[in-house]
Amino acid sequence: MKINRRSFIKSAAASSALAAAGSIFPGISFAEWKKQESASGKINWQKAPCRFCGTGCGVLVGMSGDRAVAVKGDPNCSVNKGLCCVKGFHSVQALYGKDRLKKAQVRKNGKMVEVPISEALDVIAAKIQETIKKHGKDSVSMYGSGQWTIPDGYVASKLFKGCLGTNNVEANARLCMASAVTGFMTSFGIDEPMGCYEDIEAADVMITWGNNMAEMHPVLFSRMLASRKRKQNVTIVDFATRTTRTSQAADKSILFKPNTDLAVANAICYEIIRNDWVNWDFVKKHTTFHKGKTNIGYGTEDHFSFKDKPEDITFEEYKTFLEDYTPEKVQRISGVSAKDIKYMASLYGDPEKKVTSFWCMGMNQHVRGTWIQNLVYNIHLLTGKISTPGNSPFSLTGQPSACGTVREVGTLTNRLPHGVVMNEKDRKMAAEIWDVPLSNIDPKPTYHTVEMFRALDRGDIRFMWIQVTNPMVTMPKLKRYREGCLKDDRFIVVSDVYPTPTTDVADVILPASMWVEQEGLFGNSERRTQHFDAIVPGPGDTMSDTWQIIEVARRLGFEKQFPWGEDEYIGKIWEEYRRFHDSPKHNMAPYTVLKERSGVQWPFVNGKETRWRFNTKHDPACKKGTEFDFYGKKDGKAWIWARPYEPAAESPDQEYDFWLCTGRVIEHWHTGSMTRRVPILHNAMPESYVELNPEDAADLGVTNGENVKIISRRGDIVMKASINGRGVPPRGSVFVPFFDENYLINEVTLDAFCPISKQPDYKKCAVRLEKA
For 128, the 3-state DSSP assignment is helix
Among 2, 3, 4, 27, binds other proteins (CB under 8 A): 27
Nearest to 349 by CA among 441, 432, 276: 276
Looking at the Cβ atoms of 27 and 110, the one nearer to other proteins is: 27
169 within 8 A of 414, measured Cβ to Cβ: no
Q: Which is nearer to other proteins, 1 or 24 (CB)?
A: 24
Q: Which is nearer to other proteins, 70 or 226 (CB)?
A: 70
List the one residue from 33, 118, 444, 686 that touches other proteins (CB under 8 A): 33
Of the candidate residues 16, 76, 707, 724, the single one contacting other proteins (CB under 8 A)? 16
Strand partners of residue 691 = 722, 735
Q: Choose the catalytic residue: 47, 87, 158, 637.
A: 87
Q: For other proteins, which is the closer residue by CB, 43 or 593? A: 43
Q: How far is the CB of 214 from other proteins (least distance, A)?
A: 35
Q: What are phi and psi of 643, to 5 degrees?
A: -120, 130
Distance CA 133, CA 281 (A): 61
| Contact positions with other proteins (CB under 8 A) in 604-663 | none
Residue 749 near residue 660, CB atoms below 8 Å: yes
* CB contact at 8 A, 31 and 57: no
- Residue ranges of alpha helices (H) inside 76-217 are 86-89, 117-135, 150-157, 178-188, 198-202, 213-216
Segment near other proteins (CB under 8 A); pick from 33-41, 384-392, 515-523, 578-586? 33-41
21 binds other proteins (CB under 8 A): yes
Backbone CA torsion sign across 75, 80, 86, 89 = negative
Minimum separation from the CB atom of position 65 to other proteins (A): 7
Q: Output 41 or 110, the one with its CB closest to other proteins.
A: 41
Spatial contact of 437 and 429, defined as CB atoms under 8 Å apart: no
Whether 361 is a known active-site residue: answer: yes
Give the active site residue among 53, 142, 177, 543. 177
Closer CB to other proteins, residue 98 or residue 339?
A: 98
Min. distance of Cβ 6 from other proteins in angstroms?
A: 7
What number of chain residues touch other proteins (CB under 8 A)? 29
Residue choice 2, 31, 230, 568 for contact with other proteins (CB under 8 A) = 31
Residue 70 interacting with other proteins (CB under 8 A): no
Identify any residues that bridge with 504 across adjacent strands, giving them in sequence order.
Answer: none
* Shortest Cβ 36–other proteins spacing (Å): 11
DSSP 561-588: TS---TTTHHHHHHHHHGGGG-STTTPP
Site mask, other proteins, residues 447-486, x = CB under 8 A? ----------------------------------------
What CA–CA distance (Å, rounded) separates 627 from 586?
20
Find the helix packing angle between 338-349 and 369-383, rounded to 10°: 50
Interface with other proteins (CB under 8 A), residue from 1, 3, 4, 12: 12
Among 3, 13, 113, 438, binds other proteins (CB under 8 A): 13
Instruction: Candidates 2-10, 426-434, 501-509, 652-660: pick the segment binding other proteins (CB under 8 A).
Output: 2-10
Give the nearer residue to other proteins in terms of CB position, either 36 or 300.
36
Distance CA 44, CA 70 (A): 10
Specify whether the CB–CB gap between 758 and 739 falls below 8 A.
no
DSSP secondary structure, 527-569, as one string:
SEEEEE---SPPSTT-B-HHHHHHHHHHHTT-TTTS---TTTH
Shortest Cβ 17–other proteins spacing (Å): 4
**Does residue number 3 form part of the binding site for other proteins (CB under 8 A)?**
no
Please tell me which residue in 176, 206, 224, 269 is annotated as part of the active site. 176
**Rounded Cα–Cα distance for residues 379 and 209 (Å):** 13
Cβ pair 717, 744 in contact under 8 A: yes
Among 24, 425, 565, 653, binds other proteins (CB under 8 A): 24
Pick between residue 6 and residue 560 the one whose CB is nearest to other proteins. Answer: 6
The CA distance from 122 to 366, in Å, is 41
Closer of 20 and 698 to other proteins (Cβ): 20
Based on CB atoms, which residue is closest to other proteins, 16 or 314? Answer: 16
Least Cα distance to 442 among 171, 127, 169 occurs for 169
6, 108, 134, 560: which one binds other proteins (CB under 8 A): 6
Q: Which stretch binds other proteins (CB under 8 A): 21-29, 165-173, 275-283, 660-668?
A: 21-29
β-strands 169-171, 707-711 pairing: unpaired
Least spacing, CB of residue 63 vs other proteins, in Å: 12
Interface segment toward other proteins; rule CB under 8 A; list 27-35, 120-128, 271-279, 344-352: 27-35
Q: In the complex, what is the shortest distance from the CB of residue 62 to other proteins, in angstroms, rounded to a whole number?
A: 13
- In the complex, the smallest distance separating the C-beta of residue 4 from other proteins, rounded to whole angstroms, is 13
Nearer to other proteins, 69 or 403 (CB): 69
Applying CB under 8 A, the span of 19-27, 285-293, 660-668, 760-768 interacting with other proteins comes to 19-27
Residue in 61, 65, 117, 120 with CA at minimum distance from that of residue 92: 61
Residues near 439 by beta carbon (within 8 Å), at least 6 away in sequence: none
Q: Given 369, 384, 398, 484, which residue is catalytic? A: 398
Q: Of 40, 45, 20, 43, nearest to 30 (Cα)? A: 20
Is 534 in contact with 595 (CB distance < 8 Å)? no
Minimum CB separation from other proteins for residue 66, in Å?
12
Per the annotation, the verdict on 87 as an active-site residue is yes
Residue 603 preceded by cis peptide, ω within 30? yes
Kindly identify the residues of this chain, within the stretch 35-64, that bind other proteins according to CB under 8 A: 35, 38-42, 64
d(CA 484, CA 478): 10
Task: Please choose, out of 23-31, 213-221, 669-677, 732-740, the segment that lies near other proteins by the rule CB under 8 A.
Answer: 23-31
Where does this chain bind other proteins (CB under 8 A)? 6, 9-10, 12-14, 16-21, 24-25, 27-33, 35, 38-42, 64-65
What is the set of active-site residues?
Answer: 87, 176-177, 361, 398-399
